[in-house]
Amino acid sequence: MNPFAESTTRTEIDRARSDARGGQGDVIPRDVREKVFGKGIAGKIVGAAANAAANALRDRMSVVAENTERCYEESTRDVKLDRALERELGGGRVECGPATRASTSSTAANGVETARTFVAYQVRSSATGRVAVVSAENDGARTTSVATLDDGRTLEIGRASGGGGGETDDPYASGGVFDVEADDVIDA
């Protein structure tokens, strides 16, 4: 009996586990790995290594997509709340276009990984049609956005967690202080 031979039972168990995970564990399906790398021990080792590399790439791409989406969503929220940008564009609601550029980079130093995500997109005034280009950057903790107007001027998009340059309708963006006395009563 060959200890390296694949038993039917083991194959069925592995396939059932993969199916139970929704195929999430196998970026490269088993039958494709067997065709490309062979069914022998060397083929199984190389196939498993290739599948592990493909899994790591898939997971990394998923993180990049999530970071890009978060950066874009936080920036567009800030842009829609920024009254200074609205005024500069001539009034009306500020409409955000889709991301036209996106990039991400990560560095690891002394065991600490930091990632930066950059997204750029156009915004337009619903009243005047004037446009600006917004560049947003997320450092993992906060998103800061800068709008470049059609005349070349730049405007920081203001929020309590970023920029600080614009005006906003966000009641929490002012970073105001609430003075509460010990004898104050709060009724619900």
Beta strands in the chain (DSSP E): 94-109, 112-125, 131-138, 143-149, 154-156
What's the confidence (pLDDT) of residue 85? 92
A 10 A CB-CB count for 7 gives 9
Report the C-alpha gap between 88 and 140 in whole angstroms: 29
Contact 114, 139 (CB under 8 A): yes
Q: What is the pLDDT along the chain (188 residues), one digit of tens a residue?
A: 454 455 445 555 555 555 555 445 678 888 888 888 888 888 888 888 888 888 888 888 888 888 889 999 999 999 999 999 999 998 889 999 999 999 888 888 888 888 899 999 999 999 998 999 999 999 888 899 999 998 999 999 974 333 344 444 555 544 444 455 555 555 54
Taking the whole predicted model, whether its pTM rises above 0.85 is answered as no
- Per-domain residue ranges for the chain? 7-170
Report the C-alpha gap between 73 and 130 in whole angstroms: 22
Report the C-alpha gap between 89 and 155 in whole angstroms: 11
What's the confidence (pLDDT) of residue 18? 54
Beta bridge partners of 99: 121
